[in-house]
Chains A and B, each alone.
Chain A
Amino acid sequence: MAQNSRQSSAANIDPITFSVVWNKLEYLTAQIGEKILYSTQSFVTALARDLGQTILDARGKIVVAATAAPIHTLVAEEAIKGLEATFHGDYQPGDFIVANDPYIVRGGHLPDWNFIRPMFFEGEHLGFLQAKTHVSDTGGFLPGGYGAGAYDIIAEGLNIPPLKIIRAGELQRELWDLILRNVRMPTELDMDTRLINGCMAQAEEQIAALCRKYGVETIKACMAGIIAAGERAMRAEIARIPDGHYHGESTTDWDGHTDRPVHVRVEAIVAGDELTFDFSASDAQATFVNCPVGATITSAMVGLFYLVDASVPKNGGALNPIHFVLPEGSVVNPRYPATVGASQISVGTQIVEACMLAIGRALPERAMAAWSRHLCPINIGTQPDVIDPRTDHPRNYFTETFGSDGGSGAVKGFDGWLGAGFQSACANLVRPNVEHFESSSPYLVTHYEVLQDWEGAGQYRGSPGSYVRFVTRTLPGAMSLLMTGNSDGQRSAPAGVAGGGSGPCAEMEIIGTDGAHRVLRTFVTEPIRPGEACEARNPGGGGWGDPLRRDPARVSEDLRNGFVSVARAREVYGVIVTADGYTIDAAATARQREALPISQCSLTPGPVE
């Protein structure tokens, strides 16, 4: 540690200023995000914090990344590469750029837009402020950008190469109108875009104040020093991983068109203080579920960050010792014009899992079990009885319900978190109030519950699963669709680690007014009619360690809370209770644990260590 820090002072920055400037840049990055979250009209951003902000230096290296949705922060460098290819350094103060083209800015699916403001101090280009966020609409054949069944990326929505929609402070009206004319919620997008620029302009002014106070050269040196600190910290972490090849893999339900699962396979190759993620064995590009390169790199880093020490700065330096082998034409590096609609979820989640599981094999004490997948039918439709005052047309809605609350996988020492959502969101996805959901969409949510026996077992168990049921109250004749392009996990379960069990697979169904059940698959769009109900059951996360070593007191508590049944306690955890249903019978438990085979994890589906 001491040696590391001396290097930072050797870079000609006084360590005091260095710390002060670093803290300040982190504050400013966080602040941009808080302002956007508080003001945005994008459902997903406002309520699920689907947003990531970064400050980058003039070369396009991430200096600081906010604690937000990592899939939007660590990808920032790829976007700047795309920007450079377009503008070749031609930026002016007051420029504001939007882009979403996955084959140029290499981010994720089309509704995730990059908003970039080149940052200047007294005419000198200092770097970039960037926010990437899920906008309310981006055109295409369905709202939301998750529509499975698109022929190609042109059908998925508007493809926007880097565009200066504000040039030196002047809105490029015709250009902007063309874009707004091609999205469903033009007024929302217009205001959100301009207020993001407003937030960034305020931050730019504060960074200018920092330059005035400490001198611009000092600020630049600090930025370089912060990046260098990230690299040193990451190298130190990798050096702690034993050299070797570690395999990880994960699977998505299907590709949305042909009925076959899609595999992500990675070899994590550790050599000294460098790490290579080699995806050569992953499937060839598929329909719908492909992941653009930037999102692949980011997802891999998310998997890694879950396991390395929390103090590693999440910046461009930490990316330097990590190398990628990403065969062109594969699901992790598709060729234009392949669709990428589900990319952050499928196969983005699979990339996170595969990399996390691979490194987890090298570091079982640090390993984290997989989280439940995103499982969240999106409600799309119109409300003819509600006139939107912004457009004077009947209201179009596009909202998510509550299916995705499964939870996190366990780590050594701690059970998974109930309702933490899916893995890439880092437990920052918060479900809206049911009362608000019901007053803004024609649905009645009748159940929002914890599922019994749907956790991945373990010495530390995964989160319990969750169950949501809602009934449709649309007006007869009004359009009402359920779109599941963001959902996954009906055929592949969240894996346990270090001997822990997997969760079960997810289930979704529509129940007709006649009581007949029909399966609602992932990656489809289906109508749901008035009076029909939709049910979603999402498993919890995977477990860590042998469930027979789980502290019986914890099992007792799970029994009392209704998270596990008496039968599962007996068969999987080897715990026997008295007639009240939760008091431990210690002697009987000891006998049961002797009698059971070493691990009963195979009782649960999915891969086992």
Chain B
Amino acid sequence: MGFRISVDSGGTFTDGVLIDLQGEALMRKAHTTPRDPTVGTLECLRRLAEARGLELRALLGATDTIVIGTTMATNVVATHMGPRLGTIATRGYRLRMAFPQIAKAEWKEGPADGYDFRADPPQPLTPYHLMTEVTERIDFRGAVVTPLDEDDVRRAVGFLVAQGVTTIAVTLLHSAVNPAHERRIGELIAAASPGTCVTLSSTVLPVSGETERWSTAMFSAYVAPVVTAFVTRIGGLLESEGFHGQLLFIQSNGGTATPEIVRENPAMLLLSGPAAGPSLGLALGLAHGFRNVLSVDMGGTSFDVGVAHDGVVDTVRQQVIDGKKFALPCVDVSAIGAGGGSIAQVDAAGRLQVGPRSAGASPGPACYDQGGTEPTVTDASVVLGYIDPEFFLGGATRLRRDLAEAAIQERVAAPLGLTLHAAAAAIHEVINSNMASGTDVAFAKRGYDPRDFALCAAGGAAAVHAVRIMEELRIGTLIIPKVAPTYCAYGMLFCDLKHDWQRSYYSETAKADLARINALFDEMEGLARTTLTREGVAAGDMLIRRSLDMRYYGQFRDRNAPVPAGPVSAASLQEAVAAFHRVHEQTVGYADASYPTEIVRLHLTGRAVTRPPQLRRLPPGGDAAAARKGARAAWFQGRFVDTPVFDGDRLGAGAAITGPAIIEEAFTTFVLPPGTTARVDGHGNYVTVREA
């Protein structure tokens, strides 16, 4: 007994990590099978079993915990491949969700230029004609203005069912204040059409503000069937293969949940994919004495930035996905359009642009020889000697340097009047700066100073760029995890069971009704404790965190301020107010402690402390020279330098290498510019400290 396994099912690959009681870790990859993701998941588990020398049944029988993360729900939304969804809204609001929810400037997938309308606007998850309305109305205090017309509801349900709708989202005005009409509609649908899935906006997000609540409910309804089916099916399959341990899923909030809880709130898997990375970054940072960790994950198309501050992974309360609002807590991962596949081009104004357009996996970079002719960041890495074309993915794929050179020469060097190598260096310079600027924005909007952070850089492409990003951000310490290529899968083993609740509560802070606030917090805490108890957590292992969304009276947007543990008192409220002023000062350079504030929402997070796996300690091996496998010319500071190349797998704990150097592992390449030193820590991670 004692294995822990995580499986991260991404867009292309499914990564699996297995750790035994001794901390010995194995990683395997399989192809993701979008049609039925359970196939790829089981194949990945089979490969882990094989690598361990076991039958799948024997492996699963000896496994305590399996954690699963999946981009399945994300893909359902991105490809609009969800169920036939209908909506029932308050009369007069049938097409409310057809009107814009966000400014065009906030629509990341839309045209970049503000004046460009040569595109269709964001599309709702359901065709307009499947949006219906019923007679009813509740006002903002929760009073019924117009009673619910139940015949109207039966008519709407009859129409939707006749149209082939299988899932209905019920979205009524002010249902967060008074959910009675939504609940009654839920009952009427169940009676009229028992097979139809129903999502009530007041259940998914009991918070005022109809566009956020309705949009989130529509997302939830849209992903529910596929998520529920997957969770149920994978559970059954694993059990039939002999697994009797705990099955967990990674939620968008970076915490885990059991299948039973996921089935109750399937929308929490919407951004499951990248949510686990920052937890591993934090764990590695903590091991080196850092409570503030910037976690970056650079893959083929995007550069995902997550932040852990003071020992806690940051979450946001709202994201824009596919031009629509999703307002459940998510790990705050900002994706910047920068990756190995990002395309370099010189625009009409003579500016070298790198990304956000990406060559993706197909055709991929020019050097992949799959028909791509546009130069990418990976092509530049090959031309500059950072990536060995003969040792890409551990030698599994050969790259064509000549194609990379031709692409850069034609598309960048010639138009800019640069030499080939200067052009390749320029591509790196621009992408590094874009990644740093994007990260800077992520910092600035929270009022953090990068200099207080350690940088944890993971993903296949990150280690080539990491030292430059560290310099650009003025960060002191860089950690490249040994497990960089399977960062998220690995990170899942470091995630706790975690659930969030929120309630609308509006009051000027000075007039806050402490009894009411505590009643709402108590209600949420009750839900948190019940949920965690159902998930097998002992009372002593539960952590409860409360916070308030606050703003200055008159502001339209709020900032989150923690409240100290225990019942809220006048004194603890003052602490929250002080924290609010502090955050305000940091983010916009101004605060006024005498200005009246107000509370708009209450949040509660319930977490279980899980014991992270113990990792195997690497035997000491201070002599790096033994791991040297050769040398090649690599571009540093404007010229090619003869650069030693090391085999990362042969480096022992304590080994130190000073650049110029390149450290190669099967799925990642760490580029050390001249003057920087990387040290191998006790677990095989690389740590670089920048001289101040």
B contact residues around A306 at 8 Å (CB): 115, 117
Interface presence of A123 (CB below 8 A) = no
B426 and A2 contact, CB distance less than 8 A? no
B140 and A439 contact, CB distance less than 8 A? yes
A20 and B430 contact, CB distance less than 8 A? yes
When each residue 107-119 of chain B gets 1 if its CB lies under 8 Å from chain A and 0 otherwise, what string results?
0000111111111
Within A17-34, which residues are at the interface with B (CB < 8 Å)?
A: 18-20, 22-24, 27, 30-31, 34
B contact residues around A255 at 8 Å (CB): none
Nearest Cβ on chain A to B218's Cβ, whole angstroms: 15
Segment with Cβ contacts to A, from B254-262, B432-440, B487-495: B432-440
B113 and A310 contact, CB distance less than 8 A? yes
Interface presence of A233 (CB below 8 A) = yes
A contact residues around B510 at 8 Å (CB): 389
B350 and A8 contact, CB distance less than 8 A? yes
A contact residues around B101 at 8 Å (CB): 430
B interface secondary structure, majority: loop
A310 and B350 contact, CB distance less than 8 A? no
B118 and A4 contact, CB distance less than 8 A? no
Give CA–CA (A23, B145) in the complex, Å. 53
B contact residues around A311 at 8 Å (CB): 113, 347-349
B contact residues around A312 at 8 Å (CB): 348-349
B99 and A191 contact, CB distance less than 8 A? no
When each residue 197-214 of chain A gets 1 if its CB lies under 8 Å from chain B and 0 otherwise, what string results?
111011000100000000
Interface presence of A232 (CB below 8 A) = yes
Given A233-B348, A405-B99; A202-B444 close (CB under 8 Å): yes
B429 and A195 contact, CB distance less than 8 A? no
Given A8-B350, A35-B445, A49-B103; A390-B433 close (CB under 8 Å): no
Give CA–CA (A300, B178) in the complex, Å. 49
B103 and A5 contact, CB distance less than 8 A? no
Given A2-B415, A198-B590, A427-B104; A444-B139 close (CB under 8 Å): yes
Segment with Cβ contacts to A, from B120-128, B387-395, B455-463: B120-128
Nearest Cβ on chain A to B349's Cβ, whole angstroms: 4
B145 closest partner in A (C-beta): A444
B417 and A5 contact, CB distance less than 8 A? yes
Give CA–CA (A439, B209) in the complex, Å. 10
Q: Out of A405, A415, A431, A449, which one reaches B120, CB within 8 Å?
A: A415
Interface presence of B418 (CB below 8 A) = yes
Interface presence of B486 (CB below 8 A) = no
A27 and B99 contact, CB distance less than 8 A? no
B438 closest partner in A (C-beta): A27
A40 and B415 contact, CB distance less than 8 A? no
B105 and A27 contact, CB distance less than 8 A? no
Give CA–CA (A416, B117) in the complex, Å. 8
When each residue 205-233 of chain B gets 1 if its CB lies under 8 Å from chain A and 0 otherwise, what string results?
00011111000000000000000000000
Interface presence of B317 (CB below 8 A) = no
A421 closest partner in B (C-beta): B100
When each residue 412-450 of chain A gets 1 if its CB lies under 8 Å from chain B and 0 otherwise, what string results?
011111111000001111110111101100001111111
B590 and A5 contact, CB distance less than 8 A? no
B contact residues around A22 at 8 Å (CB): 351
Interface presence of A188 (CB below 8 A) = yes
B350 and A15 contact, CB distance less than 8 A? yes
Nearest Cβ on chain A to B63's Cβ, whole angstroms: 46
Give CA–CA (A23, B434) in the complex, Å. 7
Interface presence of B515 (CB below 8 A) = no
Interface presence of A574 (CB below 8 A) = no
A contact residues around B100 at 8 Å (CB): 417-420, 427, 430-431
Interface presence of B291 (CB below 8 A) = no
Give CA–CA (A38, B352) in the complex, Å. 31
Give CA–CA (A322, B346) in the complex, Å. 25
A449 and B115 contact, CB distance less than 8 A? no
Given A9-B417, A27-B441; A428-B140 close (CB under 8 Å): no
Q: Which A residues are within 8 Å of any B CB, using their own CB? A: 1-2, 4-9, 15-16, 18-20, 22-24, 27, 30-31, 34-41, 43, 46-47, 49, 67-68, 70, 185, 187-188, 191, 194-195, 197-199, 201-202, 206, 229-230, 232-233, 236, 302, 305-306, 309-314, 368, 388-390, 405, 408, 411, 413-420, 426-431, 433-436, 438-439, 444-450, 466, 469, 560-562
User: Can you name 6 extra interface pairs (CB under 8 A) apart from A438-B140, A446-B92?
Assistant: A5-B416, A16-B426, A41-B554, A188-B554, A414-B118, A436-B209
In the complex, the 6 A-B pairs of residues with the closest C-beta atoms, listed nearest first? A198-B589, A5-B350, A310-B113, A198-B590, A419-B99, A46-B556
Q: Which B residues are within 8 Å of any A CB, using their own CB? A: 92-96, 98-105, 111-121, 127-129, 137, 139-140, 145, 173-174, 176, 208-212, 346-353, 414-418, 422, 425-426, 429-430, 433-434, 437-438, 440-441, 444-445, 506, 508, 510, 552-557, 584, 587-590, 592, 595-596
The 26 listed contacts between A and B (C-beta, < 8 Å) are: A2-B346, A5-B346, A6-B417, A15-B352, A15-B418, A16-B429, A19-B426, A38-B557, A39-B557, A46-B557, A68-B105, A70-B115, A233-B349, A310-B112, A388-B553, A389-B508, A389-B510, A417-B117, A427-B104, A428-B114, A433-B211, A434-B210, A435-B210, A438-B139, A439-B506, A562-B128
